[in-house]
Amino acid sequence: MKVKVGKKILSANEQYAEQNRRFFAERRILCLNMISSPGSGKTSILTRTINELKGKVKIGVIEGDIQTDYDAQRIKATGADVVQINTEGACHLSAAQVSGALEKLPVSKLEVIFIENVGNLVCPSAFELGESGKTAVLSVAEGDDKPAKYPALFAKSKVLLINKIDLLSLGAAIDFDIEKVKSEVHRLNKKIEIFSVSAKTGEGYDGWCHWLAEQAKKTNATNCK
Amino acid sequence: MKVKVGKKILSANEQYAEQNRRFFAERRILCLNMISSPGSGKTSILTRTINELKGKVKIGVIEGDIQTDYDAQRIKATGADVVQINTEGACHLSAAQVSGALEKLPVSKLEVIFIENVGNLVCPSAFELGESGKTAVLSVAEGDDKPAKYPALFAKSKVLLINKIDLLSLGAAIDFDIEKVKSEVHRLNKKIEIFSVSAKTGEGYDGWCHWLAEQAKKTNATNCK
């Protein structure tokens, strides 16, 4: 038996990820895979982002949760298109699940698709979904030691949103050194963009939304593949 | 070939968990497997618990982290015995890792061993370590929808610590309804004990430390098997 070498054998997940990657490239859609601990504010970030960019950037969302459709309901309330995936216990989304969800989204009218992954700072970063890039979220309430303790996501992400910065104005209640986090994350990943925001007050959203709109425009102008 | 039925075939992890369970039972040690999202305050809860119960309950700690020994250093500073496990990427501790760590702890002088699992609200709850019970931690900064969205841990835990309640005094900055969480958690798990605490200010520690000391005493008096 002859074995052909030189061709990488892809896992089932990688095959679906590659298929999704082609799907986004052909349609010139920017797809961001959003990953963080539970409760860092992924859904709140998305609802405000959708509202701030209304009429400027067409955003759709794939919501990944172990159970409930709470997050999808919150996205739906903004008027954006959303598909909920329930993993029923699984700790991360798979590329096959995303592929199935894409069939239910009106992709022809979308410029950006956010995939909100299951709340988990560890496992989702190991499973490619075919995204254009990963978006990490870290809330200041989680502590500034997290990039050092959970480096994989920060090393792989295209952009990091440091969220809940409104809590920093409360003084000593929250110990979080933004500069320490930036320096640690840049040590792991020289290319990453970092924005400090508050999904609650809107602080820092100008920079983040401008960057996102530019990325969407770039993807739309030049096929991202 | 005859296959003997009626005997459950245990996975490798279950075999080690069973071995650890016997280890704790024979020595009448209370072992609590502490699980939560990253940044909910597990290590801060432990350092204050150790300090508050100094001279009353002998506590040792097994620290699970993907990388760094930051948490073990913080435990060591209290004077308690601690062993660090680095999982190098894995999203949960295994019973075999705990078994190895137990060989390095001076177990004969301990009454309580806390296992601080990798920060992850999902995966660690699916892997038994041989513990007497699971201790869930949820910080008020994570939002009060977490028990509904990540039910497995709350359904399986012996005790839940709602942490960072000092942030609730900051008013509208944190939206977290403690009664909603208690009612949701009790719906999942009728037997669970719930304590609201602040590892920072010590609020609520009387109830938690009293409960812990009683559990340790009970385990010591009557073999927990």
The ipTM is: 0.89
pLDDT confidence of residue A163: 98
Residue A3 has pLDDT above 80, yes or no: no
Distance between CA atoms of residues A222 and B175, nearest Å: 42
How confident is residue A225, by pLDDT bands cut at 50, 70 and 90? very low
pLDDT confidence of residue A7: 56
- Cα distances from A120 to residues A47, B115, B202, in angstroms, run 20, 20, 28
pTM of the model: 0.92
Residue A222 has pLDDT above 70, yes or no: no
Asked if B120 lies within 8 A of A91 by C-beta distance, the reply is: yes
Residue of chain B with shortest Cα separation from A71: B149
Distance between CA atoms of residues A160 and A195, nearest Å: 6
pLDDT confidence of residue A93: 97
Per-position b or e across A9-39, b if 16+ CB within 10 A of its CB: eeeebeebbeebbebbbebbbbbbbbbbbbb
The helix (run of H) or strand (run of E) holding residue B185 is: helix B178-188
For A170, which of B119, B120, B173 is closest by C-beta distance? B173
Distance between CA atoms of residues A107 and A25, nearest Å: 12
Residue A171 has pLDDT above 90, yes or no: no
Assess B133–A contact: CB distance below 8 Å, yes or no.
Answer: no
Convert the pLDDT of each residue in B85-125 to its tens digit. 999 999 999 999 999 999 999 999 999 999 999 999 999 99
pLDDT confidence of residue A22: 98
Tell me which residue of B105, B44, B102, B41 sits closest to B75, measured CA to CA: B44
**What is the mean pLDDT of the segment spanning A136-146?**
97
pLDDT confidence of residue B174: 86
pLDDT confidence of residue B224: 43
pLDDT confidence of residue B93: 97
Residue A2 has pLDDT above 80, yes or no: no
CATH number of the domain located at residue range(s) A12-221 in this protein: 3.40.50.300
For A149, which of B70, B139, B151 is closest by C-beta distance? B70
Residues of chain B with pLDDT below 50 are 223-225
Distance between CA atoms of residues A112 and A220, nearest Å: 10
Residue A115 has pLDDT above 60, yes or no: yes
Report CA A196 to chain centroid distance, whole Å. Answer: 15
pLDDT confidence of residue A169: 85
Q: What are phi and psi of A142, to 5 degrees?
A: -85, -15
pLDDT confidence of residue A224: 43
Q: How close, in Å, is residue B207 to chain A by CA atoms? A: 23
> Per CATH, which fold does B12-220 belong to?
Rossmann fold (3.40.50)
Asked if A120 lies within 8 A of B173 by C-beta distance, the reply is: no
Asked if A150 lies within 8 A of B121 by C-beta distance, the reply is: no
| pLDDT: which is higher, A127 or A222 | A127
How confident is residue A221, by pLDDT bands cut at 50, 70 and 90? confident
pLDDT confidence of residue A56: 97
